[in-house]
Amino acid sequence: MSITHGRLSRVRLNLARSEEFPGGSANHGYEFVAPIGEDGHIDADIWKQERDHCRVRRFWEGEPDDIGHLIHRPGGSWAFHYDIDGDEDDEAGYRFGAHAFAPGEYVSIRDEDGEMHTFQVVTVEPL
């Protein structure tokens, strides 16, 4: 299966301001590939066709990168899945289906420990 130019985009999320990081952090975040429509939303129909290409890299200073996939769960929610063996919990995007992925926007992700973190969309680049 080949990637059709313009169907997929690389999205970078950096940790937004928090108590621990008052200025946010470019050393903590995610880069993922997803079908982002012109409205900025993830297109579930294109994801079904391109799911093998919808990868994620979680980068967190002081920890090795986690590499996984963007998955669409039953009920319509989105998550990052890292461990094929099922030992590691998915990281769920909070209302990813409702949020537009555009530079400057904010999204939240619940990590494997159940903590919610807010991230700012830094870039959305068509592949």
pLDDT at 2 over 50: no
| Prediction pTM value | 0.90
Mean pLDDT of 27-39: 96
Nearest CA-CA partner of 118 in 95, 97, 87: 95
Q: What is the pLDDT of residue 86?
A: 55
Mean pLDDT of 102-115: 92
Q: What is the pLDDT of residue 87?
A: 58
Please report which confidence band the pLDDT of residue 6 belongs to, taking 50, 70 and 90 as the band edges.
low
Q: What is the pLDDT of residue 4?
A: 42
Signed CA dihedral, 107, 111, 115, 117: sign only? negative
102's CB contacts (< 8 A; 6+ apart) are 40, 121, 124
pLDDT at 8 over 50: yes
Q: What is the pLDDT of residue 125?
A: 96
Q: Which is higher by pLDDT, 13 or 115?
A: 13
What distance in Å separates the CA atoms of residue 106 and residue 113, rounded to the nearest whole number? 21
Q: What is the pLDDT of residue 91?
A: 86
